[in-house]
Structures are given as C-alpha cells and as structure tokens.
Structure 1
Amino acid sequence: MSQFKIYGGKKLQGTIEPQGAKNEALQVLCAVLLTSEPVTIHNLPDIVDVNRLIDLLASLGVKVTRHSPHSYTFQADAVDIDYLYSDDFRRKGAALRGSVMIVGPLLTRFGKGYIPKPGGDKIGRRRLDTHFDGFLKLGATLRGNPGENFYGVESNGRLRGTYMLLDEASVTGTANIIMAAVLAEGTTTIYHAACEPYIQQLCRMLNSMGARIEGIGSNLLTIHGVEALQGTTHTCLPDMIEVGSFIGLAAITGSEITIANAGVEHLGQIPTVFRRLGIQLQINGDDIHVPAHEQYEIDTFMDGSIMTISDAPWPGFTPDLLSIVLVTATQARGSVLIHQKMFESRLFFVDKLIDMGAQIILCDPHRATVIGLDRRQPLRPATMSSPDIRAGVSLLIAALSADGVSTIHNIEQIDRGYQNIEHRLRQLGAEIERIG
C-alpha cells in the first residue's frame, strides 16, 4: 500500500485551485442514466471514487468518451440491465458508496434498480432507509435479500408522483429520490429535502435536460414528472471541502496562500466558521487570499463562553470540514468544542493528533474539546494511518505543520477524494513524497 512521507514545519506560498466537487460529480454522473441522449460533464475531479463510478457506468453499457481527465461525454442508449445480476456488478458497486445513486435513475427509466451494500468511509452508520422509503412512496416494490446485503426496487410501469416528508435531510437520499421522480407520472413533493449546492446543481442540470423541478435551494421541492429527458452539458462547481482544507492548511502552517476560483458564492458558512477561529480571509472576486498568520485566536460567544462549532444540514456547516476545523484549532489561541452530530466515528482520529502533542479532550464519540497550543510548540511528527478521506487530509495538514518527518499510511483513502494532492501541494512548496 502507498504512503506519504511529509517533511513538515515549512511555510508554504502560492496559488492553488480547487478540483471539481466530488459530491456533486457522483450525483450528476448517475443522472446520465436518465436519458438516451449524450450528456457532457466538465470539471469532474480526477479521483478514485469518480473514476470508479465512471467505470461502473461503462460496465452497465453507457458509452463513455473521455475528452480530458476532467471532461467526459456519456450516452446511456444501450444500458445492460442484466448486468445488475452479475458478480462483477456486486463487486464494483460494493466498492463505492456513491453507487447507490444509480438506483433511482435505473428504477424510473427501466423499472428496476439494484445495488449491493455500498462501501465508503467507515465514519459511523450511514443507512439507506431514506432512499428506499422514497422509492416505495413512488410506487416501487422492494426486492432482494437484505441479509445478503443486496438491495433492490422494481416497478410495474411508470412510478407515480406523491407527497413525502423525508425522515432525514439525506443528501444522497434526496438526490436519488429526485432522479426517480423526474420521470414519474404526476407531481412529487419532497419536504425536508437536502438543499446543499450539490443538490441545487443536480436540479439545475435535470431542468436543463427537460425536467420540471421547483423550489431549488429550499427544503421543499416540487417535481412535475415528464415523459423523457434529453441531453445537456453541465459543469461541476469547485469543491467546497477542498477550499476549506486549503484555508485550514494555510492557517496552521503560517502560510500565505491564494485559493483561485473558489466558488465563493456557494461556500455558505465556511468562511464564517474559519473567521470564528481567528483566521483572516480576503475575498477578491472568486478568489480567497489567506495571509500568513503568526497567531489566530478563537472567538467566544457573547457571554464569554467557549465557542462551539457543529455540523448541520445545509445551510448549516458541512460535516466534511469538522475534521479540518479541529486540526486547525490545535495551533490557535483559545479553546473550541467540536460537535460532530451526524457520524459517531468521525472524531476517533484525534488520538493520532494527541500523539503529535495536540491538547484535545475526546468527550464522547460526537464531541471533542480542543485547547489551542497558540504556536508555543509545534505538533510532533508521527507515523499514522488514514482512516477515511477527511481524517486522512486532516492528518496530512497536521503533518505539514509538524516540525520533522511524518509518514501516513493507507493514503488510498485520501486519493478517493483529493486529486494529485501531493503534486499540487508541492507547487506551494510542501515537501511531500509518495512511496509505493
């Protein structure tokens, strides 16, 4: 397995541009199954999870034309539904959590959709009930054997629009139900829908294909079913998680970094949360400049009580950046309580930061208190293993700030979400090498 060797404690400088949004890419790639016409997608990130999904689509019979590592055209005019019953499908589908979002498009267009229990980060329970409850409300019938970790839905004829109140604002669940509903008969109303920028982008793409979706950007979506969709061209947003990662990297290493083409209007609470850590951001058009910080001080609430940063469904703060915020806070002045509400295993990587000298109290699986070191002492180098995508990058950021040589194993997790990260960081002056 590959590993990173990082020579930390060095200040970085320069300009870096975020990749296309991973979470959006996984959704819009599944949407190509909704039409027999060509769909071109630009600004796709060249990462493991996206490439696995493209390979899965090709195995399903989708024609894939690669124009560049970031631009593809797809045409799903000869989908092989029988492939869903193959061992190859079970293997490829299980390797990628985003593969669950092929079920909605396949169900509504071909009358059946199957998926093995998908993989992904081991960050806690990530149930699929919201997806399948939505399909059943649209008139589908559950098939398969959950005991074999193979799930499926089928329909006799066209799905039927209905009202539904989601039990949770699941991003992938909302995306899956939207894609199933666009070709259903009648009107579907989805309340408590996720409304992240990724969902907004998916809805805009579907509307450009001929769908009729109202309420984009809100948690109440109204979808008027249409008979068929046509082709389109779509461009993915910059990845907001990369933007936040680079802000945290600049602050903790005392570096001056400009994040170009950051998609500022789609960042929501992200700049505000980093400013609460005392990080000064200069926004120039669509660029974010992070000046070198000798110190940064965590804010408090108005009554002087300790700052709490927690995740919430959009427009709340994204859970994917809590690990980055936690690492960044280790060298701040002051204290902060990090409250990870959505996933009960996502904070377990803090033991590695504690080994590096960070002052962190893990209160329970969901909460950790960080007492900032105020740069009185740098983090110590360490040998670590990446447990998931976001924790892996957080440990990489910690290693870049540590004074000495660190090693990170299992970097395949990082590759799932960050494209060519070592090459891009070396352009900022980082000393990092991939081994193996």
Structure 2
Amino acid sequence: MATFQIEGGHSLKGEITPQGAKNETLQILCAVLLTDDEVIIENIPDIRDVNKLIGILGNLGVKIQKLGKGKYSFISDKLHLDYLESELFKEEGSSLRGSIMIVGPLLAKYGKGYIPRPGGDKIGRRRLDTHFEGFIKLGAKFRYNKEERFYGVEAPKGLKGTYMLLEEASVTGTANILMAAVLAKGITTIYNAACEPYLQQLCRMLVSMGAKIKGIGSNLLEIEGVEKLNGCTHRILPDMIEIGSWIGLAAMTKSEITIKNVSWENLGLIPNTFRKLGITIEKKGDDLYVPAHKDGYEVQSFIDGSIMNISDAPWPGFTPDLLSIMLVVATQARGSVLIHQKMFESRLFFVDKLIDMGAKIILCDPHRATIIGHDFKSTLKATTMTSPDIRAGISLLIAALSAKGTSTIHNIEQIDRGYENIDGRLKAIGAKITRM
C-alpha cells in the first residue's frame, strides 16, 4: 500500500493543466468495441481505472497501440469472447465498475455480454438495474449466476428499437443502452436520459462513426439503428472534477493558480457553486484563474438570509463528485454551509478524519453535513489518515496541504485511480509531497 507524506501550510503558485476526463474516457473506450475499424482516441489520462479498462480490452482481443502521450489506436476486429466467462475476467472486471459499459457494445455487435458484479468506490449502493432493464426492453434475455455473482445478457436474434423511460438518469446506464441501441433494428427512444457533457461527447463520437442520434444534450434521445459503424478519431474533454479539485486546492492553500484549457462551456454550475463559498474565479480565454485569497473567503447566504445549502443533482445540476471538495473548502470559509449529498449514501463518512484535524462539522445523517468555517483563524492539524475512495482521497489531500505540520495519507491507490501523476504535478507548483 502506497502512502503520501505531505508538509502542509505552504502557498502554491503556477499553472496546471487538467488531465483528460476519466468518466468520459471509460465510456469512449467501451465504444471502440462497436466497429471493426481503427479508432484513435486522444487525451486519455494515465490513471489506474483507465489503464485497467485498457488491459481488459487487450485481454478481450482488441489490438491496442500507443501512438504518443495519451493517444492510442484501437482495432476490435477479432475478439476473444470466451474471455468474458474466464476467471481472469471475473477478477479484473469486478475491480472496475466502469467495465459494465462493455456489455452494451458487445450485446449489440455479438449478441451477448457478460460482467462480474463490479466494484469501485465504497460510497454506498450503486444499482445496475437501469442498464439491464434497458437491455431487456431492447429484446435481450437476462442471466444472473448468484453463486458467482455474474451478470449476463444475450440476444442471438439481435436487438430491436423501442421506447423506454429510465427510472433514473444514470450516466453509465444511458451510455450503455445508447451503445446497444445504435446497432439495434429500428428506432429507440430514451427518455430521462443522462445528458452531461461526457455523454454528449459519446453521442458525437458515435455520430462521427455513422450512428444516427437526435436530441444530443437533452434528456430525450432518439436513436435510429444502423447496420455497422466506422472508425473515427476522438479527443477527450478536460476533466471537470479535476478542475474543481484545483479550484478548491487554490482556495484552501491561499494559492494563485491558473488552470489551463478548461473548456468553460462544459463546466456548467461548477464555477458559480464555488463562488457561493466566496471564492474568486476569473475567466481568461479558456483558462480559469484563481487569485490568492489572502483575506479568506466568505460564504454567501440566500436572499432570505438562511444558511447556504449546496447539493448535488444530475446534470445540469452540480456534480456529486465535487461535494467532498466543497465540504473541505467550507471548513476554512467565513460563515456556515449545509452540504447535502443526495445521490450517494456514504460519501460523507470521511468527515470524521476532518474532525480529527480540527474542522467544525456536524454530520446530520448519511446525506447531510453542516460545516462551520474557521475563517483561517485556526488551521487544520496534520494527522494520519486513509483514503476511502477517489473523491474523499483528493479532499483529504487538499486538507493536508492546507494543514500545519506533516500529514500521512495511506491507500493513495484510490487517488491514483482518478488523478494522473498528482504528486508530480503538485510539486511543480510548489507542494511539498512525497510518495512513499
């Protein structure tokens, strides 16, 4: 188990470029299975979860060639489908939740897809019902081996387009069903579809491959199935979660940081939500500039004077992946804020580690926490902690960088799942961090 040692209490300064978006990359990598032609993907982040999925694709028989930093070629013309029922796949697939999205493309192209029960973050239950209910509506038959906890869908006669209303606007569920529908016969209509930028990117990539999709960017998608898809070249967007992480880092450490090439049009509510905590954010071309907050930052209040409430929601609402960052940033704000995590039930359980560092947090229940900010009149204390998941891990790292003294974070493999060379990039702007 790897560990970070962090000497906190130092201001940072410089430029940092966000990596390619993890969540988009996992979708896009699965889409290469839909065609026999070459697909070239650019700006792929070098992180554990993405590299695991690339490894799974390689074991499945995809020909993979690295063309440069973050640039890969994929050819999926001859696959080893027996790998899907192997012990190796059960081990590899169960450790990566994103591997569920290979099922849709395989079902559409080969008439069957299997997946072990996926793992991933320990942030509460994350149901797969949306995925499989969508496949069943397209005409697939569902299989589940309870003893081996193995899921499967089969459609030897192919899939047929239909209308479906999704119970939840699941991003991975929408992506999976969408990738199955592009090769189904007839028209598929998906209502209550997820519509975040990364799903829009998947739609645009599929259209460039020859798919027929209407309603991109809305929650109502119409897909007219085609017989085959062609190859393409696609570039991954910058990671909005990493961009939000750097904003939070700059505020907590009173640092002057410029985040390069952020794709402002795809940030949604992220900049304004940080502004609610009193953080100054400036747009400079396609860069995002955060000045050093030498005098701290003050939480806004609602018009009626009630306490600021920041909550998550499906896009275009505020992403749940940044609520942990908002919570940490609020610990040094001037004022109080209520963080309401609606979409996952255990993501706030890392706050005990912040309380140990001296933060004033009241955990109301698994979904809500009230934070009374210190206004930098007392700093967080260095401590030893363990990262439970990706987003809590980066939040604890930000807390450690702002705290006086030397902190230790264990299980940093969780952070490496979502952040590329994070210690090297932080050192480049002045952070004192050592990987043990």
Q: TM-score range by the shorter chain?
A: over 0.9
Which residue pairs with 1:61 in the alignment? 61
Which residue pairs with 2:107 in the alignment? 107
User: Structure 1: how far apart are the matches of 2:418 and 2:376?
Assistant: 29
TM-score (norm 1): 0.99
Cα deviations across residues 62-90 of structure 1 (Å, max 9, x unaligned)? 00001124110000000111111111111
Structure 1 residue 181 corresponds to structure 2 residue 181: yes
Which residue pairs with 2:391 in the alignment? 390
Which residue pairs with 2:332 in the alignment? 331
Cα deviations across residues 29-60 of structure 1 (Å, max 9, x unaligned)? 00000000000000000000000000000000
Matches within 5 A, 1:18-417: 18-294=18-294, 295-417=296-418
Report sequence identity in percent.
70
User: Structure 1: how far apart are the matches of 2:280 and 2:187?
Assistant: 47
Structure 1 residue 8 corresponds to structure 2 residue 8: yes
Report if the CA contact (8 A) 2:298-2:335 is conserved. Answer: yes
Question: Could you tell me how far 1:146 is from its partner in structure 2?
Answer: 3.5
* Aligned amino acid, residue 239 of structure 1: D
**Matched position secondary structure for 2:337:** strand
Question: Could you tell me how far 1:254 is from its partner in structure 2?
Answer: 0.4
Cα deviations across residues 130-161 of structure 1 (Å, max 9, x unaligned)? 00000000000012313421000000222000
**Matched position secondary structure for 2:301:** coil
**Matched position secondary structure for 2:345:** coil
**Matched position secondary structure for 1:360:** strand
Question: Could you tell me how far 1:95 is from its partner in structure 2?
Answer: 1.1
Report if the CA contact (8 A) 2:143-2:153 is conserved. Answer: yes
Question: Could you tell me how far 1:416 is from its partner in structure 2?
Answer: 0.2
Report if the CA contact (8 A) 2:90-2:116 is conserved. Answer: yes
Cα deviations across residues 182-233 of structure 1 (Å, max 9, x unaligned)? 0000000000000011100000000000000110000000000000000000
Question: Could you tell me how far 1:356 is from its partner in structure 2?
Answer: 0.3
Moved over 2 A (4+): none
* Aligned amino acid, residue 344 of structure 1: E
Cα deviations across residues 300-333 of structure 1 (Å, max 9, x unaligned)? 0000000000000000000000000000010000
User: Structure 1: how far apart are the matches of 2:157 and 2:212?
Assistant: 21
Segments of 5+ residues of structure 2 without an aligned counterpart are none
User: Structure 2: how far apart are the matches of 1:57 and 1:321?
Assistant: 29
Question: Could you tell me how far 1:263 is from its partner in structure 2?
Answer: 1.3
User: Structure 2: how far apart are the matches of 1:285 and 1:175?
Assistant: 31
**Matched position secondary structure for 2:425:** helix
Report if the CA contact (8 A) 2:112-2:156 is conserved. Answer: no
User: Structure 1: how far apart are the matches of 2:147 and 2:396?
Assistant: 36
* Aligned amino acid, residue 53 of structure 1: L
User: Structure 1: how far apart are the matches of 2:379 and 2:62?
Assistant: 51
User: Structure 1: how far apart are the matches of 2:215 and 2:193?
Assistant: 10
User: Structure 2: how far apart are the matches of 1:172 and 1:148?
Assistant: 23
TM-score (norm 2): 0.99
User: Structure 1: how far apart are the matches of 2:173 and 2:385?
Assistant: 33
User: Structure 1: how far apart are the matches of 2:95 and 2:193?
Assistant: 27
**Matched position secondary structure for 1:77:** coil
User: Structure 1: how far apart are the matches of 2:143 and 2:84?
Assistant: 13
User: Structure 1: how far apart are the matches of 2:95 and 2:145?
Assistant: 19
CA RMSD of aligned residues (A): 0.6
User: Structure 1: how far apart are the matches of 2:80 and 2:216?
Assistant: 32
**Matched position secondary structure for 1:46:** coil
User: Structure 2: how far apart are the matches of 1:12 and 1:198?
Assistant: 30
Report if the CA contact (8 A) 2:21-2:236 is conserved. Answer: yes
User: Structure 2: how far apart are the matches of 1:146 and 1:102?
Assistant: 21
Cα deviations across residues 230-275 of structure 1 (Å, max 9, x unaligned)? 0000000000000000000000110000000111110000001000
**Matched position secondary structure for 1:203:** helix
* Aligned amino acid, residue 111 of structure 2: G
* Aligned amino acid, residue 77 of structure 2: D
**Matched position secondary structure for 1:300:** coil
User: Structure 2: how far apart are the matches of 1:115 and 1:124?
Assistant: 20
